[in-house]
Chains A and B, each alone.
Chain A
Amino acid sequence: MFSPTLIMFFIFVAITLVITYWASGRTKTSRGFYTANRSISGFQNGWAIAGDYMSAASFLGIAGLIAFFGFDGFMYSVGFLVAYLTVLLLIAEPLRNTGKYTMADVLSFRMHGRSVRAIAAISTLIVSLFYMIAQMVGAGSLVTLLVPQFSFNTAIITVGVLMLVYVIFGGMLATTWVQIIKAALLLGATAVLSFLVLDHFNFSLTAFFNTVANIHASVPGASGQPITKSILEPGLLYHGRFGPLELISLGIALILGTAGLPHILMRFYTVPSSKAARTSVVWAMLLIGAFYVMTTFLGFGAAALVGKADIGTHITSGQAIAYIAKHRSEAASLNAKLSSNGYIVPVKNNNLAAPLLAKALGGELFLAFIAAVAFATILAVVAGLTIAASSAFAHDIWLNIVRNGAGVEKEQVRIARITAGVVGIIAIVLAIGLKGLNVAFLVGLAFAVAASANVPAIILTLTWKRFNRAGTIAGMLVGLVSSLVLIAVSPAVMPTPIFPLENPAIVSVPLGFIAAVLGTLFIRDAQAEANYAELTVRANTGLGAEV
């Protein structure tokens, strides 16, 4: 019953619950609940951002993608780091200087009234909730595989209840420390695993890459004949007519989307100043970069050292649909990949590349440690998402829209806790209900909506004096709706797709920007233009920033 994995998992839970108890004594106000009283240092926040950002999808998913698709999987690693330049150069400091708790604060700084705040809150809720469901369904499948004692539903409910305890009792302070501990565990585990891989090759990178270069996989060629290539070569995941466009579109979603993820943006309100916000991004970039460089060893290491007879076994689209129908839940949990031209790569145990590598190199005990780290990883991310979704409900919709900004402080904290509970329970129920669906597209959707709806509005409100309410609403609505519609008719959802790309960003991001500009030019809004002076002075000097 008490496997090493469970024991390590219990130790993690026990430590985080002690932290939550400690944090609950310091979470009395809405400022405490949402921002940990802005008491987190830049260095700590850097670790927390890393913990908030490196999801199980990164740790397990990317290791698996690299193991199976080689170089193309590594493209995710690159995008996930470079994305932080957008955050560092354009978003973090102005956001900290002009907002209070949420992204909607910044967007409604110049555009007063309920409409802008409402759509910003809805966009926040969509991104957070979809991302959360994807994480939880992932958690369910993963934990079932790693800890056979847990059923799918038990795993989701355990994750859900723990995340609710952290958030409701410990607020942002407990969430922050859960994320910091998780980031340390994840980086530590990845470093040890990379060390073991290199040790296996006697620390010779030449030997490592020579072995990897000799692993081959095949993709369907233009004439239907499979093309076989080394997994170091590009083109195993993104191939065919739309392969290059898919790759560019993925890049756009990653590079811009990160700067519009509400749970990441919210982290910048936890530090005392915009300078601390800058320091946070710098530390986050060092940690996240180090992690993603090491995915090379995790992914290629798994390809080299763990048997993977499944690579390159392509079947035709008819068989693919049959495969998905037959193994619907399995396909969802194992990320069965239906490529744009109808070929399927049944990437069996894709998510387990890193854990299996751990087992091959470090034995059962190390596998147990990695499994516990994976669980901690999921918990830290869903806690951050819950608090972001709760702030959109309680601070934006309830306090500023329903109560018109006139709430009593005591009521605010209570509402924040209640909405966190509601959001969490909705996520648990949806995750259990959607377990048979392939939810991988939900993560793509979250990034696409963030990139197409949130980022154009944030950048334009900070930099363009003429920008106004009509522009904000048009840009966000078009960005939101076009991402949703394009994903609904994409190969990720439809067997015979209307839109050929899984990532809509290459179309939806320009649409979001164009709609924002056209909407702005449609009317003149003297108030929004007059407010620009105050916004830009505050954003660039920190005058009047929330303390």
Chain B
Amino acid sequence: MLEPPTSRHHHLTPSDWEALESDPDFRALIAAKRRFVLPATIFFLLYFFALPVLVGYDPALMSRKVWGQVNLAYVFALSEFVMAWVIMLLYIWRARTFDRLETGIVDKVRAEFNV
């Protein structure tokens, strides 16, 4: 049996990790991450795949000109860039909360296990 690739925290036993995993602070961190990451992932997948689906199955709609010669397909494609950057910015903003919760947990573990 191989050792895990990273084993610096040897003095934390499997039951210590189990305890940490069910610690309310850690559950709060996971819940906070899930509240953002899950909807964000579902949203970006739906938004992204809407483009090839609409372009593929309703080319007439997507060829409609919306700004001069520029058609809906192209505007939709450009909006994908904006969508990606907006989700990125929202993630940076939300990640400050994750980092704050994380620091709390790490400080607690460091104090408890003297690491």
- Interface residue ranges, A against B (CB under 8 Å): 71, 74-75, 77-79, 81-82, 84-86, 88-90, 98-100, 105, 108-109, 112-114, 117, 206, 209-210, 212-213, 229-230, 232-235, 238, 243-245, 247-248, 250-251, 255, 275, 278, 281-282, 285-286, 289, 292-293, 400, 404-405, 530-534, 536-538, 540-546
**What residues on A are CB-neighbors of B92 within 8 Å?**
278, 282
Apart from the given pairs A531-B4, A534-B17, 8 other A-B contacts in the complex at a CB distance below 8 Å? A78-B80, A85-B44, A232-B71, A232-B73, A247-B55, A285-B84, A537-B21, A541-B102
A38 to chain B, nearest CB (A): 13
Interchain CB contact under 8 A, B106 and A541 = yes
B88 to chain A, nearest CB (A): 5
**What residues on A are CB-neighbors of B56 within 8 Å?**
238, 243-245, 247-248
**What residues on A are CB-neighbors of B114 within 8 Å?**
none
B34 to chain A, nearest CB (A): 10
Offer 20 A-B interface pairs, CB within 8 angstroms, sorted by A. Answer: A82-B48, A82-B80, A82-B84, A84-B88, A85-B40, A86-B41, A89-B40, A89-B44, A89-B87, A105-B5, A108-B4, A109-B4, A112-B4, A213-B69, A238-B56, A251-B51, A286-B85, A533-B21, A534-B4, A542-B102
- Interface residue ranges, B against A (CB under 8 Å): 1-6, 8-9, 12, 14, 17-18, 20-21, 26, 29-30, 33, 37, 40-41, 44-45, 48-49, 51-53, 55-57, 59, 62-63, 68-71, 73-74, 77-78, 80-81, 83-85, 87-88, 91-92, 95, 99, 102, 105-106, 109
Q: Which of B20, B40, B44, B59 contacts A82 (CB 8 A)?
A: B44
Interchain CB contact under 8 A, A234 and B20 = no
Given known pairs A89-B40, A109-B5, A248-B52, the reply for A541 and B26 (CB within 8 Å) is yes
A69 to chain B, nearest CB (A): 13
Given known pairs A233-B71, A542-B106, the reply for A537 and B81 (CB within 8 Å) is no
Q: Which of A75, A404, A534, A541 contacts B52 (CB 8 A)?
A: A75
> Across the A-B interface, how many residue pairs have beta carbons closer than 8 Å?
181
Interchain CB contact under 8 A, A85 and B49 = no
Q: Which of A81, A232, A286 contacts B70 (CB 8 A)?
A: A232
Given known pairs A81-B81, A275-B99, the reply for A533 and B5 (CB within 8 Å) is no
Q: Which of A75, A85, A108, A537 contacts B5 (CB 8 A)?
A: A108
Interchain CB contact under 8 A, A247 and B52 = yes
B68, B74, B83, B109 — most chain A CB neighbours (10 Å): B74
What are the nearest 7 A-B pairs in CB distance? A244-B56, A213-B69, A534-B17, A533-B21, A544-B9, A247-B52, A533-B17
Interchain CB contact under 8 A, A544 and B84 = no
**What residues on A are CB-neighbors of B12 within 8 Å?**
534, 544
A285 to chain B, nearest CB (A): 5
Q: Which of A74, A84, A206, A536 contacts B84 (CB 8 A)?
A: A84
**What residues on B are CB-neighbors of A400 within 8 Å?**
2, 5
Interchain CB contact under 8 A, B55 and A234 = yes
Given known pairs A78-B81, A238-B56, the reply for A209 and B69 (CB within 8 Å) is yes
Interchain CB contact under 8 A, A404 and B106 = no
**What residues on B are CB-neighbors of A532 within 8 Å?**
21
**What residues on B are CB-neighbors of A79 within 8 Å?**
48
Interchain CB contact under 8 A, A88 and B4 = no
Q: How far is the CA of A98 from the CA of B92 in the complex (A)?
A: 21
Q: How far is the CA of A280 from the CA of B91 in the complex (A)?
A: 13
**What residues on A are CB-neighbors of B33 within 8 Å?**
540
Q: Which of A77, A238, A541, A546 contacts B6 (CB 8 A)?
A: A546
Q: How far is the CA of A278 from the CA of B69 in the complex (A)?
A: 39
Given known pairs A232-B74, A233-B59, A255-B45, the reply for A544 and B8 (CB within 8 Å) is yes
Q: Write the chain B residue with the least CB distance to A106.
A: B5
B6, B62, B95 — most chain A CB neighbours (10 Å): B6
Interchain CB contact under 8 A, B57 and A232 = no
B57 to chain A, nearest CB (A): 5
**What residues on A are CB-neighbors of B80 within 8 Å?**
78, 81-82
B104 to chain A, nearest CB (A): 10
Q: Which of B4, B26, B59 contacts A234 (CB 8 A)?
A: B59
Q: How far is the CA of A545 from the CA of B45 in the complex (A)?
A: 30
Q: How far is the CA of A458 from the CA of B96 in the complex (A)?
A: 25
Interchain CB contact under 8 A, B69 and A78 = no
Interchain CB contact under 8 A, B53 and A533 = no
Interchain CB contact under 8 A, B59 and A112 = no
Q: Write the chain A residue with the least CB distance to B45.
A: A255
**What residues on B are CB-neighbors of A86 within 8 Å?**
41
Q: Write the chain A residue with the least CB distance to B79.
A: A78
B49 to chain A, nearest CB (A): 6
Given known pairs A210-B69, A289-B85, A400-B2, the reply for A88 and B74 (CB within 8 Å) is no
Interchain CB contact under 8 A, B69 and A234 = no
**What residues on B are CB-neighbors of A538 within 8 Å?**
6
**What residues on B are CB-neighbors of A404 within 8 Å?**
2
**What residues on A are CB-neighbors of B37 within 8 Å?**
89-90
Interchain CB contact under 8 A, A540 and B40 = no
Given known pairs A78-B77, A540-B33, the reply for A255 and B48 (CB within 8 Å) is yes
Q: How far is the CA of A255 from the CA of B51 in the complex (A)?
A: 13
B73 to chain A, nearest CB (A): 5
